[in-house]
Structure 1
Amino acid sequence: MLESFPCLIVTARLKQVSEQADLTGSSFDEALVTTSATFRELYPNRKLPSFAWLKVHGVAGRADFGLAPGHRLVVSERAYDVLRPYQLEHAIVEPFGGFRFDHAVGDTDYSPLCEGPDLDLVRALTQRLTVPLLAEERIRTPQEARAALDAGAWAAIVGAAITRPQWITAHSVAAIEQRPSLSGEA
């Protein structure tokens, strides 16, 4: 894998392995790699492999390929296991310790659309992270906040449930309308 900010280039073999493993958060495109006169002079018999452009669109910590702040490539453990046999010994590998994801669950085509908080994600992240996890997004009730804490979050952030009275009213009215009447009428 070659890194040429902001571009990631992989060998055609690494592209094939990534696609076969169905790794998420990326797509591939053609990459035209040429050599300089100096390269050809220094390595007259060296033939370069075919390369592909690795276009990362995933979110770090959610997809197999993601970008962290500063455009640093973050790969999941699953992706790392797939890529490890392909000469990663020259790569600088360190744990991803970020704990803030600036998107709502369900905002991307590879993340689940949840009615409430994504408790599976909270559990998965708290098992891997060494920093406190702040659960945010789709936490609207005390029960959902408690569920996020029970799933391992250090804190649960409720925003719209407090700051948008029209949202609170609409959800309250919808819940009341779903409740059966006391007289037995639907």
Structure 2
Amino acid sequence: MYVYILGGFLGSGKTTLLMKLASMYTKRGEKTALLVNESGEIGVDGATLKAQGYDAMELPNGCICCSLSGTLQTALKNIKNDIDPDIIIVEPTGLALPHKVKELVNVSMIDPDETYIIGIADIQRFDDLVKKKEQFFKMQMSHADFIIINKKDLARPGQIEEVTKWLNSEFPNRPVFSVSAKTDENIDQLYEMMR
């Protein structure tokens, strides 16, 4: 069982990416479970995901790396026992620290083969985020296995190169590439990074 944790600030495109990855794994014939942590965000909830045919569980009203840590571990155990998926994709709230979620995944009893963090940077709001919440953003990306710059379709000329350079300087030796989860631009590169 492989676990992917989507890490990124509010509005970075985690839910759109979650849907793309779930669809990719379903097409590959792999049993996929989704765990979504809604904390007052506007997004796709567990009921909507279930209506689209996905095995989904929603953890509302709290952060899975903080106040809902026990709930997360219970949910993961239930997913393993009830669904026994090949892949679990976890979408924490945009205020979560993905490495804390990874710690909880790894200490729970689901025995993942591998747990990966996908860091998601929002090109549209990148400058504001780094200006106002740089330390928090760095903490969110600090343990990412790779970082994607999302919303490539909305980037101004030269912006992808600027942000890539910044990310490479802050997180050396991490793959960084840009995609548009909305338009599928460069999404194949992301799929190639996945198990």
| TM-score, scaled to structure 2 | 0.29
* Structure number, greater radius of gyration: 1
| TM-score, scaled to structure 1 | 0.30
Q: Which has the higher helix share?
A: 2
